[in-house]
Amino acid sequence: MTKTVKEYIRTIADFPHEGIMFRDVTTLFADARGFRMAIDQLLHAYAGMPIDKVVGLEARGFILGGAIAHQLSTGFVPIRKKGKLPGPVISEAYQLEYGEAVMEIHDDALKPGERVLIVDDLLATGGTAEAGIKLCQRLGAEVIGCAFVIDLPELGGRARLENLGMDVHALSAFDGA
């Protein structure tokens, strides 16, 4: 019997602090069959759509996005936490449950009219993904979709991104935070 992507993901209780059920995708990435399955399934939702660049959100989105960009024979663009990119950047602040964070992209990473797919491992509240969407749009790119391995529906990220007009695709969903 073939495992699902969800079955490759382990849950670690009380990490990074008590009450959190951490969904660990490193077990998925470490298994060749599971990793290939995840990449294929993320791509399947966008089969036949023209994609000029894949944008990965720090940090696990780099792993997924790099593999997807390779499969599509297209470029990969990282969106990083503030202060991590070496060249001129544009920034987008977003709210965390305990404060604010800032994401950045090189100011020449995307060209107006390019069609991009945003990729990350986890969709929780949607704040990081929304910041990524806004950065891409500020550079004139068209975000054709947002793809995730895991959705935590109770935290409202999918609804938040769909309210922005985004197509959201997730391979699995877990209850709770």
Active-site residue set: 60, 97
- Crossing angle of helices 32-44 and 60-72, rounded to 10°: 70
Q: Who contacts 126 (Cβ-Cβ below 8 Å, separation ≥6)? A: 155, 156, 157, 158, 159, 160, 161
Task: Report the C-alpha dihedral over residues 127, 82, 77, 4, rounded to 10 degrees.
Answer: -50
Q: Which two tokens stand for residue 28?
A: 């998925």
Q: Do 154 and 125 form a contact (C-beta atoms < 8 A)?
A: no
CA distance linking residue 119 with residue 109, whole number of Å: 16
Q: In whole angstroms, what is the distance from residue 33 CA to residue 22 CA?
A: 22
